[in-house]
């Protein structure tokens, strides 16, 4: 099994694998090109994002700067808005539904490292998927940790750290994020 196959199956894989490094460098180059484009070049911006994120729906805006590890592991629905400085470590699959809005300085992370220092020092990690439902608003400076699912119609308050699943129709805030209200 290749390191890429291990990565896609949520198994521990070597981060030093040449195929994975090549894929990351390609994504870094596309992110760099995107982040250097003037805002007025809307058609070029859209074309570059579609090269970087081939699984993206219609009617989207991703403000600059934007960073991701791979791009190909991102699946974004229609009517998507991401404010400045979105960082997505998409070693694993990241799925974002329709009509989602993301505030500035948000981080979505799929990599998970071993707790044991000896194993961690071998430069292995595994990627746990992140799923964000439809009609979700994520406030500024939110961190979404590996393996988390956020249900439909949720609001995640600014500065929250999402460490566990959030059920649909919830307002969650804090560190760690806790549901404080059901949204009718």
Neighbours of 168 (CB within 10 A): 16
61: left (phi over 0), alpha (psi -120 to 50) or beta: beta
Give the angle 79-31-127 at the CA atoms, nearest 5°: 80
Q: Exposed, middle or buried by CB within 10 Å (0-12, 13-18, 19+), for 171?
A: middle
Q: Return the active site residues.
A: 113
d(CA 115, CA 106): 25
């Amino acid at each position: 099994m290749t390191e890429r196959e291990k990565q896609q199956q949520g198994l521990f894989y070597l981060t030093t694998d040449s195929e994975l490094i090549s894929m990351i460098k390609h994504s870094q180059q596309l992110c760099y090109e995107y982040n250097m484009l003037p805002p007025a070049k809307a058609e070029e911006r859209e074309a570059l994002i579609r090269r970087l994120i081939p699984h993206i729906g219609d009617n989207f805006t991703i403000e600059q700067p934007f960073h991701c590890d791979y791009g190909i592991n991102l699946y974004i629905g229609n009517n998507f808005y991401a404010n400045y400085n979105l960082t997505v470590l998409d070693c694993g699959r990241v799925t974002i539904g329709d009509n989602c809005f993301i505030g500035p300085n948000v981080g979505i992370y799929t990599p998970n490292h071993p707790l044991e220092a000896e194993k961690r020092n071998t430069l292995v990690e595994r990627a746990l998927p992140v799923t964000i439902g439809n009609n979700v608003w994520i406030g500024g400076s939110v961190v979404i940790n590996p393996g988390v699912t956020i249900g439909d119609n949720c609001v995640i308050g600014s500065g929250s750290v999402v460490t566990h699943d959030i059920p649909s129709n919830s307002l969650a805030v804090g560190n760690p994020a806790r549901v404080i209200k059901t949204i009718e």
